Chains A and B, each alone.
Chain A
Amino acid sequence: MAILEVNDIHKRFGAAEVLKGISFSLEKGSSLAIIGSSGSGKTTLLRCLNFLEKPDRGRITVQDEVLFDAGDPGTQAEPEIRKKRLNFGLVFQAFHLFPQYTVLKNITLARELLEKERQKTQGTSAPQKEIDADAAALLAQMGLVGKEKAYPHQLSGGQQQRVAIARALALKPKILCFDEPTSALDPELTGEVLQVVRSLANKKTTMVIVTHEMAFARDVADHILFMDEGLIVEEGPPEQVFGNPREERTRQFLARYSSEP
C-alpha cells in the first residue's frame, strides 16, 4: 500500500515547462532517490510536494487523502495547505537554519507553536518537557550532543545540515524530503550527513532523496528515479538503474557522473 502517490504533475514557469507529467508512488518505510542533471526539475518536484510551488496539473495523495488536485480548488485553500505541509518534511540544500536561535530552539520552535495552537483548539498539548526531551533525543540521534546551546554560525556545514534534519524530524513528517543535502558541503563533511541519512533509512523512515551522490543512492535507496528535462526517463531498483540501465540517456548521465568525481 503506497503512502505517497504522485500523479501527472505538471509545472511551468512562464514559457518553460519544468515538469512535464511526473508520476510515481512510494511505499511506507522505503526510500526513493531521485537523480538527474542540474535543471531537470528535481528541486521543483520536491517544492511541489511541500506546497512551495503549485503544480499546474496533477494530484498528490498521501495515505489515500488527496492533498492536492489541480482540478479541485477545494484542495487548495490556504489554511489547509499549511496543515497538509506537515505530511512532508524538507531538508534544503542550503540548510536555512534560523540564525537567531540556538540549535535546540531551531528544533523545537515549530513544534512549540503547533502545540500552542493545539492547546487553543483542542484543549490539550504536549508539555514543554516532552518537546525538549524529544529534541534532545533527535540531537543524540544526529550526533550533536553538547551543541544544544550553540548558534548555527558556530557550527560546521555538516553539523548545520544535521540540525536541519533534526528540525524537520521534530514534526514527525510521514515523508521526509532531501534536496541535495550534501551539495553545499565541503567534500570532507558529506560523509557525516550521508551517515545520518543512511541511519534513517535503516530505521525505515520514508524518504525522497534528491542527490548527486550516486554511490550513496545505489547503496541506500530502495528505488531510483532518473529525471531528465522534466520527465521520468527511467526508474527501478538501484541494481537495475545503475547496473543495467535501459535508456540511452540514463547511460550517458551515469557515464558523465562516474567520470567526474
Chain B
Amino acid sequence: MSNAQTIVSRLVDSFQLNVQLFFLTLLFSLPLGLVIALCAMSRFKPLAIVTKTFVWMIRGTPLMLQVIIIFFAPGLLNFGAPWGSGASARFTAATIAFIINYACYFSEIFRGGIQGVPIGQTEAGQVLGMTRAQIFFKVTLLQVIKRILPAMSNEVITLIKDTSLARIISIKEIIMMAQEYTAQGLIWPLFSTGLFFLVFVGLLTIIFARLEKRLDYFRV
C-alpha cells in the first residue's frame, strides 16, 4: 500500500470515532433533552428552577471544559475510575459530556417548540375528551417537530463538527490524526479532513431538507 493510501485509510478509521460520537450523542441526548424540557416546564417550581439553572450552566460554559471536567474530575475527587481505563475510558467520558451538553441545547429547542404550539390546540383536544397523552402524541407532537426542524438541523450540523473537540482528552479523532502528519511536514491530510465534514454535513442537509418537505403538507 502506498503511503497516501495508508494515510487516507487511517483518516477514515479515525473519522469513525467522530461518527460514533455523533450517533451516540444523538441517540441519548434527544430523549434526555425531551425529559429536561418537560422538567423545565414543570408546574412544580423547584424542579423547573433547578433544571433551568443546570441548563444555563451547561450552555454557558464551553463544551471543551465539560469534556475535560467529566474525564478528570472523578479521579481527582477520589471517586475512582467510573469510566474505566485507556482509550475506551476517554471515549466514554467524551460521550457523556457530549450527551449532557447536547441534551441541554435540544431541551431549549424542544421547550420553544412545545410552548410555540398554541394553547388552543391542547384545549381543543381537551374539550374533545382526549387524555393528556393523546393530545401530546396525536395533536401536539407533529406540530412541534415541524416547528423545530430548522433549529434541529443547525444543532445537528454543529454536533458533527464539535466531535473534534474530543481530541482535548487525546481521543484520536480525524483532525488529531491528520495533525500527526502535519508534524511530519504533510499538510494535505489536514485539508482533506475538511472534505469528510463537508460530505457528512451535505448528507445531513439533504436528510433535513427531505424531512421538512415531508411536513410541508400542513401549516402551523
Residues of A near any B CB (own CB < 8 A): 50-52, 82-83, 85-86, 88-90, 92, 94, 96-100, 109-110, 113-114, 151-153, 167-168, 171
B214 CB to nearest A CB, Å: 11
Residues of A within 8 A of B134 (CB): 113
User: A151 — which chain B residues lie within 8 A by C-beta?
Assistant: 217-219
Q: Are B218 and A100 in contact (CB under 8 A)?
A: yes
B-side contacts of A85, CB under 8 Å: 126-127, 129
Interface residues on B, range: 20 to 34
Ranked 5 nearest A-B pairs via Cβ = A110-B128, A96-B120, A96-B124, A153-B219, A90-B127
Tell yes or no: B220 within 8 A of A by CB.
Answer: yes
Q: Which single residue of chain A is at the shortest CB-CB distance from B145?
A: A100
Instruction: Give the distance in Å from the alpha carbon of A113 to the alpha carbon of B218 in the complex.
Output: 22
Q: How many pairs of residues, A versus B, come closer than 8 Å at their CB atoms?
A: 62
Residues of B within 8 A of A (CB): 118, 120-121, 123-131, 134, 138-139, 142-143, 146, 217-220
Q: How far is the CB of A111 from chain B (nearest CB, A)?
A: 9
Given contacts A99-B220, A153-B219, contact A89 B127 (CB under 8 A): yes
Which residues of A lie under 8 Å from residue B130 when comparing CB positions? 82, 110, 113
Contact B120–A83 (Cβ < 8 Å):
no
B124 contacts A171, C-beta separation under 8 Å: no
User: Are the C-beta atoms of B123 and A99 separated by less than 8 Å?
Assistant: no
Min Cβ gap B23→A in Å is 28
Q: How far is the CA of A89 from the CA of B124 in the complex (A)?
A: 10
| 30 interchain pairs, CB-CB under 8 A | A51-B126, A52-B123, A52-B127, A82-B130, A82-B131, A85-B126, A85-B129, A88-B127, A89-B127, A92-B120, A92-B124, A96-B118, A96-B123, A97-B124, A99-B143, A100-B146, A100-B218, A109-B128, A110-B129, A113-B129, A113-B130, A113-B134, A114-B129, A151-B217, A152-B218, A152-B219, A153-B218, A153-B219, A167-B128, A168-B128
Which residues of A sit under 8 angstroms from B121, Cβ to Cβ? Answer: 96, 98
Instruction: Find chain B residues with CB under 8 A from A94 CB.
Output: 120
Query: For residue A88, which residues in chain B have a CB less than 8 angstroms away from its CB?
Result: 127
With a cutoff of 8 Å between Cβ atoms, the chain A residues found around residue B123 in the complex are 52, 92, 96
Q: Which of chain A's residues have a CB closer than 8 A to the CB of B217? A: 151
Q: Give the distance to chain B from A242, nearest Cβ to Cβ, in Å.
A: 30
Bound CA span A113–B128, Å: 10
How many Å from the CB of B141 to the closest CB on chain A? 10
Tell me, rounded to whole Å, the shortest Cβ–Cβ distance linking A181 to chain B.
Answer: 14
Which residues of the partner chain B approach A92 to less than 8 Å between Cβ atoms? Answer: 120, 123-124
A82 — nearest CB in chain B belongs to which residue?
B129
In the assembled complex, which residues on chain A have CB atoms less than 8 Å from the CB atom of B126? 50-52, 82, 85
Given contact pairs A50-B127, A100-B146, enumerate 15 new A-B contacts (beta carbons under 8 Å). A50-B126, A51-B126, A82-B130, A85-B129, A86-B129, A92-B120, A92-B123, A92-B124, A96-B121, A99-B143, A110-B125, A114-B129, A168-B127, A171-B128, A171-B129
Q: What CA separation (Å) do A64 and B125 show in the bound complex?
A: 26
Q: How distant is the Cα of A109 from the Cα of B139 in the complex, in angstroms?
A: 10
* Docked complex Cα distance between A94 and B118 (Å): 11
CB pair B129–A98 under 8 Å, yes or no, is no
Q: Which residues of A contact B219 (CB under 8 A)?
A: 99, 151-153
In the bound assembly, the distance between CA atoms of A50 and B125 in angstroms comes to: 12
* A114 CA to B138 CA, complexed, in Å: 13
Q: Which residue of A lies closest to B142 (CB)?
A: A100
Closest Cβ neighbor of A91 among chain B residues: B127
Contact of B138 with A113 in the complex, beta carbons under 8 Å: yes
Q: Known contacts being A52-B126, A85-B127, is A109 close to B220, with CB within 8 Å?
A: no
> How far apart are the CA atoms of A82 and B134 in the complex, in Å?
12
A82 to B219, CA, bound (A): 29
Q: How far is the CB of A207 from chain B (nearest CB, A)?
A: 15
Whole-angstrom distance between the Cβ of A84 and the nearest chain B Cβ = 9
- Which of B121, B128, B138, B142 counts the most A-chain CB atoms under 10 A from its CB? B128
Among B123, B124, B131, B143: residue with most chain A CB under 10 A: B124
B220 contacts which chain A residues (CB < 8 A)?
A: 99
> Cβ of B118: which chain A residues have Cβ within 8 Å of it?
96
| B139, closest chain A residue (CB) | A98
Distance of B93 from chain A, by nearest CB (Å): 41
State in angstroms the CA–CA spacing of A100 and B121 once bound together: 11
B140 CB → nearest A CB, Å? 10
- Which residue on A lies nearest to B120, using beta carbons? A96
Q: Are B143 and A100 in contact (CB under 8 A)?
A: yes
